[in-house]
Amino acid sequence: NAGVTQTPKFQVLKTGQSMTLQCAQDMNHNSMYWYRQDPGMGLRLIYYSASEGTTDKGEVPNGYNVSRLNKREFSLRLESAAPSQTSVYFCASSEGGNKIVYTFGSGTRLTVV
Amino acid sequence: GDSVTQMEGPVTLSEEAFLTINCTYTATGYPSLFWYVQYPGEGLQLLLKATKADDKGSNKGFEATYRKETTSFHLEKGSVQVSDSAVYFCAPLSGGSYIPTFGRGTSLIVHP
């Protein structure tokens, strides 16, 4: 089925470790996004890529980096994980421009101990 | 920037009850309005949308009407089912912006 695929689904890290969350979409969407979801906080935008070759900071970018590897893939990297980064991470994509209906992946549940 | 206020949950109902989840927003210009739903263990998915004043979005028995005068987009369903148990997010999108603002979500629990 077409959609947004995130890997891994679950991950436990120790404080200070690094890791990369992977996201790929097969809908030929131009724009891709990374969100984190925390209890009582809703969704908060970390980074987004309006089109291939561009990335921009969202609401909560500190501690994260992103790479838009190609049109399909948009990865999120934690260079030195902290307990405050324990969260559920969602990748989403859209056609971009004024076609702004999002398609979300099923999420990565990350725990930093 | 845009902001959105949703009623706090959880909202707990019996099957076949009437549902209202309130959403009010502040946004510039004439925003488009969306409701997304998140079922347990899944990502969000679009439930319905409305792009101009007085439009009614509808899907799966859910409805919401774009009320510009009250800056509201309340979600309603006449008869909920257990399978409607999920978290519902209201999301306005201002004109000229391509990134919606998501509310904090309202959890709905429907008992048989």
Q: What does the block give as tokens for B92?
A: 């306005």
Residues B99, A48: C-beta atoms closer than 8 Å: yes
Instruction: Please give the pLDDT value at position A41.
Output: 81
**CB contact at 8 A, B101 and B83:** no
B-chain residues near A33 (CB < 8 A): 99
- Euclidean distance between CA atoms B12 and B28, whole angstroms: 33
pLDDT of residue A98 exceeding 70, the answer is: no
User: Which chain A residues have a beta carbon less than 8 Å from that of B32?
Assistant: 100
- Chain A residue with minimal CA distance to B41? A106
Taking contacts as CB-CB distances below 8 angstroms, the residues of chain B near A98 are 98
Comparing CB atoms, the residue among B43, B93, B105 nearest residue A42 is B105
Residue pLDDT, tens place only, A44-85: 999 999 999 999 999 999 999 999 999 999 999 999 999 999
CB contact under 8 A, A107 and B42: yes
Give, in order, the Cα–Cα distances in Å from B46 to each of A79, A94, B60, B91: 32, 12, 11, 10
Q: Which of A79, A67, A83 is nearest to A24 (CA)?
A: A67
Q: If pLDDT is split at 50, 70 and 90, which confidence band does A36 have? A: very high
B96–chain A Cβ distance below 8 A for any pair? no
B87 near A CB under 8 A:
no
Residues of chain B under the 50 pLDDT cut: none
Percent residues over pLDDT 90 in chain A = 84
10 Å Cβ neighbour count for B32?
22
